[in-house]
Amino acid sequence: MTVINRETSETSVRVQLSVGTGAAKANTGIAFLDHMLTALSRYSGLDIDVTARGDLRHHLIEDVALTLGRAFRESIPSGAARYGSRTVPMDDALVQASVDIGGRPYYEGPLPSGLYDHWMRSFSDESRSTIHIVVLRGTDRHHIIEAAFKALGLALRDALIDTGATFSTKGSVSVRAE
């Protein structure tokens, strides 16, 4: 289990994360964010407990993503399969998420919401994961964003499978500061 606390003058965020069954507790004060965190938890198989308070929606959504991303990074097994890609249909929406959790942050979207597009970028940066979200079709913003979180969850589930192998032509990477 990983617990990360992030405190700023704008927000207070606590995230508890562990590989489990997809159980979620989300209490951010933003009902839609709580809904997306619950979907991400369920589809990824990660047990996530998030408590957050903040001054502005933007600050809160961003800091939750940063804190969850850091907790996720700390939870990646050394033998993780590393890659995952899933497509989720949700009513009018069809969204694909592809990930590489191998330590290189990069995000490509966009989602039809600046706040949730920024959530994906912030999560990518702090988890040090490459995330590509492709909206194949859809007009309902809620359905597109929810399908993106579900597809991301399924892709992360696949990438987290502990194979016991190192999936890199470089082999295991070691970096030390002296």
Give the pLDDT score at 164: 77
> 3-class SS at 121?
helix
Q: Which domain holds residue 122?
A: 2-159
Give the pLDDT score at 170: 59
| Stated pTM of the model | 0.93
Q: Would residue 132 count as lying in a domain?
A: yes
Can you say how many angstroms the Cα of residue 48 is from the centroid of all Cα atoms in its chain? Answer: 11
Q: Would residue 112 count as lying in a domain?
A: yes
Instruction: Report the domain count for the chain.
Output: 1
Q: Would residue 164 count as lying in a domain?
A: no
Give the pLDDT score at 132: 98
Radius of gyration of the CA atoms of the chain, in A: 16
Give the pLDDT score at 69: 98
Give the pLDDT score at 149: 98
Q: Are 52 and 28 in contact (CB under 8 A)?
A: yes
Q: Would residue 171 count as lying in a domain?
A: no
Q: Would residue 119 count as lying in a domain?
A: yes
Nearest in space to 141 (alpha carbons), one of 118, 112, 109, 101 = 112
Q: Would residue 76 count as lying in a domain?
A: yes
Residues of the chain with pLDDT under 50: none
Q: Would residue 77 count as lying in a domain?
A: yes
Q: Would residue 170 count as lying in a domain?
A: no
121: domain CATH number is 3.30.230.40
